[in-house]
Structure 1
Amino acid sequence: MRISKGRSQRLLGSAVAVTAGAALALGGTASLAQASGPHVIDGKGAAYNDWGDEGDLSRHSHANSNATRLWQTVLYADGAKWKDSNGNRHTFKKWDIDGSFGRKTESATKWWQQREDVEDVDGIAGKETFGVADDYLDGPGYNGRVTYSGYKHDVTFKRLGSTYYVKIGSEWKKAAYNWRG
């Protein structure tokens, strides 16, 4: 279980992300997520700053992908809540990790963003949301293991080379922004 970091650490992280984003924009370079080829969630060095340059996951962008599975695993780890059509809240469960960014994932993402003090509570897992989430990553360790310390569960991903993998059943699959990745 994690202890939430203070607002000052988030502001520092945001300043670093803005500075890095400005450098990329000025340099005319593609983001790391786009530069890595088959559009995968990627990183290098310590895991705690890997995801702040990732692309958007939403109902309208990369809605069916293993990158979505990775994000849904974060929602599960934190015990995110989603709201049904009657306004009742339900906990995001392990079986909700299906790689499809539907209304349930969007609602749970909004809940997560509000809990984590993300500026734009929009239900889109984008740079800011991923950048907050990666603060709770540790690794990589033995065999490329990266641990996300959630409020309810700790979960494990793999980062081999610079590419993240998510466990599906008994297999590790690239956390790609499309099914073919």
Structure 2
Amino acid sequence: MSGLSVFGTWVRRGAVTAAAVMLAGVVLAPSAQASVSQGGIYGSGVVTDDWGDEGPLSTTSNSHNIVVGLWQSVLIADGYLPGGGADCYFGANTKAATIRWQEDRNLGADGIVGPLTFGRADNNLYWVGSEIRYDGSDLNLYNMHRTSSGRWYADGGGSTVYFSYTSTDGCP
């Protein structure tokens, strides 16, 4: 299977190389509101509507955190950023890749990752047992999960990493 673990292992046509996609963090306790106000990514029910209330991520808003690393992993999986391009910073390269990703999906190409952009990306999420995967154009993302309270995390390498808007722990 071709894929990218959100913990940083690429698998493409049988070859394995390291990628800079180590994601870590702590998520704040959930509140009644969604997305940034909760401190991290949460969902319930089907996974294809979990990201539609997330963001914004941009060069000026929530620009350095674990959720940016997750978004960069989506861009890598879809072929818009090179492998090793995830650094948890939403800079010029991530903005340009986001604009191309949005253009190719007929979204408002403003380089800001908000509910419409995240909502389009989550259409590619699917379950494999208790694991959530992202079906990318070039690679699949894997090792993602939800707790019983809906909190998103990655599991791998003996660590649990929560997708957080408030933490950069573990970012390269």
TM-score of the pair, normalised by structure 1 = 0.69
The structure where strand makes up a greater share of residues is 2
Give me the whole-angstrom Cα distance separating, in 1, the residues matched to 2:147 and 2:86.
Answer: 22
Moved over 6 A (4+): 167-170
Pair 1:70 & 2:70 matched: yes
Uncovered stretches (5+) of structure 1, i.e. residues with no partner: 2-28, 81-91
Q: Show CA shifts across 1:138-168 (max 9, x none).
A: 02732xx211000000111222231112468
Give me the whole-angstrom Cα distance separating, in 1, the residues matched to 2:156 and 2:68.
Answer: 12
**What's 1:158 paired with?**
145
- CA gap of 1:131–1:115, structure 2 versus 1, over 3 A, is same
> 1:1-181 to 2 correspondence within 5 Å?
31-34=33-36, 36=38, 39-80=39-80, 92-118=81-107, 120-139=108-127, 141-142=129-130, 145-156=131-142, 157-161=144-148, 162-166=150-154, 171-179=159-167
**What's 1:8 paired with?**
none
Aligned residues: percent identity?
33
TM-score of the pair, normalised by structure 2 = 0.72
Secondary structure of 1:98's partner? coil
Secondary structure of 1:173's partner? strand
Task: Tell me, yes or no, if the aligned pair for 1:66 and 1:166 is still in contact at 8 Å.
Answer: no
Q: How many residues align?
A: 138
Secondary structure of 1:94's partner? coil
**Deviation at residue 31 of structure 1 after TM alignment:** 3.6
* Higher RCO structure, 1 or 2 (CA under 8 Å, sep 6+): 2
Give me the whole-angstrom Cα distance separating, in 2, the residues matched to 1:170 and 1:102.
Answer: 30
Aligned AA (2:137): Y
The structure where helix makes up a greater share of residues is 1
Give me the whole-angstrom Cα distance separating, in 2, the residues matched to 1:70 and 1:167.
Answer: 13
What CA RMSD, in Å, does the superposition of the two structures yield over aligned residues?
A: 2.4
**Deviation at residue 123 of structure 1 after TM alignment:** 0.5
Task: Tell me, yes or no, if the aligned pair for 2:75 and 2:97 is still in contact at 8 Å.
Answer: yes
Aligned AA (2:93): K
Give me the whole-angstrom Cα distance separating, in 2, the residues matched to 1:149 and 1:95.
Answer: 19
Task: Tell me, yes or no, if the aligned pair for 2:48 and 2:125 is still in contact at 8 Å.
Answer: yes
Give me the whole-angstrom Cα distance separating, in 2, the residues matched to 1:103 and 1:31.
Answer: 30
Aligned AA (2:116): E
